[in-house]
Amino acid sequence: MNNFFTANISEADPIISDAIDDEVRRQTNGLELIASENFVSEAVLQAMGTVFTNKYAEGYPGKRYYGGCEFADVVEQLAIDRAKEIFGAEHANVQPHSGAQANMAVLMTALDHGDQILGMNLSHGGHLTHGHPLNFSGINYKVADYGVNKDTEQIDYDELQRLAEEHRPKLLICGASAYPRTIDFKRIGEIAQGVGAKVMADIAHIAGLVAVGLHPSPVPHCEFVTSTTHKTLRGPRGGLILCREEFAKDVDRSVFPGVQGGPLVHIIAAKAVSFGEALRDDFKAYQQQIIDNAKVLAETLSSSGLRLVSGGTDNHFLLVDVYMDGKGITGKAAEKALDDVQITVNKNTIPFDTQKPFVASGIRLGTPALTTRGMKEAEMRKIGEMIAAIIHEPESEDVKTRVRREVAEITAKFPMYSNRYKEKLNEAISAS
């Protein structure tokens, strides 16, 4: 009998099955502090694993190039409608496979090859797709960049205006992947208007905060808004474009057939589920807790002798200077030392960094994932103390042993994916 449609992954591919089980354990038994990561609901996971993965649906709801799309249309239209409702947008495209492809589609819509853009410098908190020379954005367009003030480590909007007047960009790009402060989208919109530029706001990191009004929305001030659907929005990995109605057809055309072929209908289904979750009353409380947790974590790290870039945080981000002009350790070393005790962070450059990007002077932290697990201020204080202890004594086996025990104690109180968690035989024996 053909078992193609019935065999579980453990039977069909035990190596991959074991890797999945190992990853469940890694996520469950560790503290996830990478700012761009989060944990999706079981419902979102289930949506991603549906038979919609079998379906090609090139085109858009009601206008497909394939037959058999009636249920794909239901899923995508619901995702579109929910995205528009969340953000108060006139138009939404939910097909981008990633945030980078969402940005590519917008640049394709707003620009011609070789046009001038003004984007935030990657080392000051921007993103690769905002004009980095090795990225499509830096290769295909003329780029000028802006950054943060050296003293405040925050965006200097007067300087941004000066640069906009000097370079006269066709598109001004704002938003960041490592900027812990509130972004003044209204002021940016005014600056762009003054030089005849359009604005693309990349809110990949802060989308969840924007969705519930805990960060000012760019939608009223920017022609285009892009985002990922993971991170604070807590959906599957993918992209999203919001825009004004006047650009809707051009944006849709830029996504398909411009930069993509068939949409990933199973991922769009999962996006729709997560957007539905974002429309629930409890989503705002969750986002507020993210901010509250970040502030407590920031205060704890600062009081432990670590320097926070810009002095603190307004959102879910913390950018921590662990090198401190040679008095500490590199971001690379900090990432490794913390990983050894099952605290996951990523090394990150800080503004005006003297270290190479793969070494870096800082680490980037975020609170969305731990907040999803249910952790609050008390846990953040403890976690901040553990992080500081490791950074101050990265070679101490005594400190590492103590922190590993404390990590295990905290994670045990906040279980997740209980129906997916499988203990290894040796773990079960040692625990008995």
Active site residue ranges: 56, 58, 202, 228, 231, 237
Give the span between the Cα atoms of 426 and 432, in whole angstroms: 10
DSSP assignments along 206-232, one per residue: THHHHHTTSS--STTT-SEEEEESSGG
Give the span between the Cα atoms of 292 and 414, in whole angstroms: 18
Give the span between the Cα atoms of 424 and 374, in whole angstroms: 25
CB contact at 8 A, 207 and 175:
no
Nearest Cα to Cα of residue 100 among 256, 238, 200, 214 = 238
CB contact at 8 A, 30 and 344:
yes
Tokens of 139: 């290769």
CB contact at 8 A, 215 and 233:
no
Tokens of 41: 């609901």
For residue 261, what are the contacts with CB-CB under 8 A and spacing of at least 6? 58
Place of tokens 């993509």: 260
DSSP assignments along 69-132, one per residue: -HHHHHHHHHHHHHHHHHHT-SEEE---SSHHHHHHHHHHHH--TT-EEEEE-GGGT--GGGT-
Give the span between the Cα atoms of 229 and 132, in whole angstroms: 23
Cβ burial 63-75 (10 Å sphere, 16+ → b, else e):
ebeeeebeebbeb
Give the span between the Cα atoms of 342 and 26, in whole angstroms: 8
